[in-house]
């Protein structure tokens, strides 16, 4: 199964993708996570990407697509994958079309007020990448990851001025992908109207929609 999870920053893509990947036994490819890791390791790629990440701009298509191609052809993606954060432009979607056939797009829609609240309260584990929220998905012990005991931190791009820029970039460059995929692939629409809905409820709804679209065997 090859899926795209699509939606604005703060829609919960990472949270739902990791749970869904677990349920379906497929890997999650998050281009944002890949870049953050490269930045942390201060690699060549990390140094190229750092400026884009900290300003909320997109990393150039050629760089992202090269990395994605490697990931989806890797061994752990042979049973399928969920793409989180890719494609983000029409050019990326065209490049993906040439690489592989996607089964469906999971499209998350979330009111802007919830997005801003979610992003500004988001905390991420330094060690395993697990995602928490200071209001709605609190860690058991403040500042400590429930899964691995790692330290929690706030992403540099989860600050108010960068959040605004990321939302602008999403509207202008990524949102048009809905039109691109509309007649090509099943789009499973998932509305998250409240930040209080526990992730497992949303994941269950996604699984139900996958089943209804005959995508679960
Ligand atoms: P995310 O974790 O998906 O919100 O991504 C964080 C940042 O990584 C974005 O704001 C971009 O700077 C960069 N990024 C991640 N995925 C892509 C992509 N597909 N194309 C361009 N830039 C990306």
Tokens of 165: 């820029």
Query: Ligand 1 test: best mutation among 13, 14, 17, 31, most atoms within 8 Å of CB?
Result: 31
Domain 2-110+174-212 classification at class level: alpha beta
Q: How far is residue 70 from each of residues 4, 77, 172, 175, 185, measured CA to CA in Å?
A: 17, 10, 27, 25, 23
Query: Which candidate, 116, 126, 114, places its Cα nearest to that of 155?
Result: 126
The answer to whether residues 29 and 80 touch, using CB atoms and an 8 Å cutoff, is no
Angular region, 10: left φ>0, alpha ψ -120 to 50, beta rest: left
pLDDT at 58: 97
How far is 200 from 203, CA to CA, in rounded Å? 5
The answer to whether residues 29 and 72 touch, using CB atoms and an 8 Å cutoff, is yes
Write down the domain spans for the chain: 2-110+174-212
Q: What is the pTM of this model?
A: 0.93
pLDDT at 217 over 80: no
pLDDT at 194: 85
Q: How far is residue 198 from each of residues 53, 70, 113, 160, measured CA to CA in Å?
A: 28, 33, 18, 24
**Three-class SS state of 30:** strand
How far is 215 from 217, CA to CA, in rounded Å? 7
Q: Which residues pair with 131 in a beta bridge?
A: 124
Pocket of ligand 1 (CB under 6 A): 9, 31-32, 35, 52-53, 56-59, 64, 85-86, 88, 92, 157, 166
pLDDT tens digits, residue range 56-105? 999 999 999 999 999 999 999 999 999 999 999 999 999 999 999 999 99
Distance 203 CA to ligand 1 centre (A): 23
Catalytic residue among 19, 88, 118, 209: 88
How far is 34 from 49, CA to CA, in rounded Å? 10
Catalytic residue among 2, 48, 71, 155: 155
Distance 162 CA to ligand 1 centre (A): 13
Mean of the pLDDT values across residues 103-113?
95
Q: Which residues pair with 3 in a beta bridge?
A: 82, 104
pLDDT at 44: 95
pLDDT at 3 over 90: yes
Query: Which candidate, 41, 103, 38, places its Cα nearest to that of 71?
Result: 38
């Amino acid at each position: 199964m090859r899926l795209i999870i699509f939606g604005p920053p703060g829609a919960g893509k990472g949270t739902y993708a990791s749970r869904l990947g677990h349920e379906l036994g497929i890997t999650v490819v998050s281009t944002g996570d890949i870049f953050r890791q490269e930045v942390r390791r201060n690699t060549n790629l990390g140094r190229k990407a750092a400026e884009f990440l900290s300003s909320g701009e997109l990393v150039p298509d050629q760089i992202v697509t090269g990395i994605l191609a490697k990931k989806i052809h890797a061994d752990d993606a042979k049973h399928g994958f969920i793409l989180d954060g890719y494609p983000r432009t029409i050019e990326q979607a065209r490049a993906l079309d040439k690489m592989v056939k996607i089964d469906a797009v999971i499209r998350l829609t979330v009111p802007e007020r919830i997005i801003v609240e979610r992003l500004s309260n988001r905390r991420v584990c330094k060690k395993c990448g697990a995602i928490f929220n200071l209001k709605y998905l609190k860690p058991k012990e403040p500042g400590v990851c429930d899964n691995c005991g790692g330290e929690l931190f706030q992403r540099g791009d989860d600050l108010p001025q960068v959040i605004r820029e990321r939302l602008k970039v999403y509207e202008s460059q990524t949102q048009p992908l809905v039109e691109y995929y509309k007649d090509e692939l099943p789009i499973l629409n998932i509305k998250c109207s409240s930040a209080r809905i526990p992730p497992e409820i949303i994941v269950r709804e996604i699984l139900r929609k996958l089943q209804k679209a005959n995508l679960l065997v």
